[in-house]
Amino acid sequence: MKRDLLILFALLCCALITTYILAKGADPDRIFTSHKRNYDRFTLQSVDTVLFPGRVSIMKAAQGNIYGYVYSKKTIFRYNTNLHQIDSFFTNRILPMEIVTRLEVDTGTHTFYIFGDTGKKIVTYQAGSGKPDSIMYADTAHTYKDISRTTYMITNFDTSKKVAQLKLRNFNAPAQDTTLFEFPRFEDGGLSADGFYTKNTGNQFYIPFYNGGIIRYDKIHNDIRLMHTIDNTPPSNIAVPSGNIYTRSSKSIIVNSTATADDQYLYILSYVLSEDAVASNYRGPAVDVYNIQDGQYEGSFRFPGYQNKPVLQLAKCADTLIAAYENNILLFKLTGK
């Protein structure tokens, strides 16, 4: 039991470590694919550049606002694209949180879901209220309003089965969480299943860091579907044992680093080197676009370089694609041909 708890602790810690590696702009090793990307389908046009007060490690966009979490300030900042103004949206003064690991926005209710360091502490917040609406924990919830219809995907390591699972978290009754998917089992404490989330109006997506298998949850039809990136990188054991815990292997290779979605497309920032990139000696990442309805690859595009900084986060609002280059937020008009 003690070993299982240590493995679970390592899983949570390594998820944070991976986020830190990406936020520091680490240059990962690369996966190669014989696929030739198509760059004729989409075009980018620069619209605006915004300087945030620090490195943006989490970003969302909704209703004309861009929300960026700056860990060094322990603050979520908000930029209004119409007024061209930036202000503090959520700070430690409202509720002390050591670190924010995930931010979700429900545009229908104007509610923000702010996930704490282990994912076990979740705060709901509405702009202008000046205080949290709810503070939820793994087994209990202190709730000031009805959020029974609000569910989000979370990852969980089942210590009895020793397998990582994707679950649908019921915020009002965590004991009633629904298991949506079980990841391939490796002797790695679940590290191979490490990844991140994004969503659109009717779907939630879980995108692994280390393989090309994307899990799509259709909320309307309560249906799980698998999508695959162009490289089809299979799941593999990316960990090594270290005493009573597992740590991320130095040979593990990041395939997908961040993503965003609108109602038609899923946009994934991929570090996979395709045949055309190898031929032109291009070493940067590309954004691969997939049709959400059928999961098919639609095309790719590349972001322009900016001050030699990596793209850490993506967001999409209407026809505007937003990219966080560390503390610089660049806005692009994205059009399809």
Please list the pLDDT of the chain residue by residue as tens digits (337 residues).
434 443 344 444 444 444 433 433 334 478 999 999 999 999 999 999 999 999 999 999 999 999 999 999 999 999 999 999 999 999 888 877 888 999 999 888 888 989 887 666 788 888 777 777 777 665 554 444 445 457 889 898 998 999 999 998 776 666 678 899 999 999 888 889 999 999 998 999 999 999 999 999 998 899 999 999 999 999 999 888 888 888 888 888 999 999 999 999 999 999 999 999 999 999 999 999 999 999 999 999 999 999 999 999 999 999 999 999 999 999 999 999 8
Nearest to 235 by CA among 180, 181, 172, 315: 181
Distance in angstroms (rounded) separating the CA atoms of residues 78 and 45: 23
Strands 245-248 and 328-336 turn out to be unpaired
The pLDDT value recorded for residue 48 is: 96
Q: What is the pLDDT of residues 136-147, one digit of tens each?
A: 665 554 444 445
What pTM, to 2 d.p., does this model score?
0.88
CATH number at 121 reads 2.120.10.30
The pLDDT value recorded for residue 106 is: 86
Strand-pair partners of 125: 112, 132
- DSSP reduced 3-state for 215: strand
Distance in angstroms (rounded) separating the CA atoms of residues 29 and 257: 13
Work out how many domains the chain is built from and give that number: 1
The pLDDT value recorded for residue 119 is: 60
Distance in angstroms (rounded) separating the CA atoms of residues 304 and 46: 9
The pLDDT value recorded for residue 314 is: 98
Q: Which domain holds residue 14?
A: 2-336
Q: What is the pLDDT of residues 258-270, one digit of tens each?
A: 999 999 999 999 9
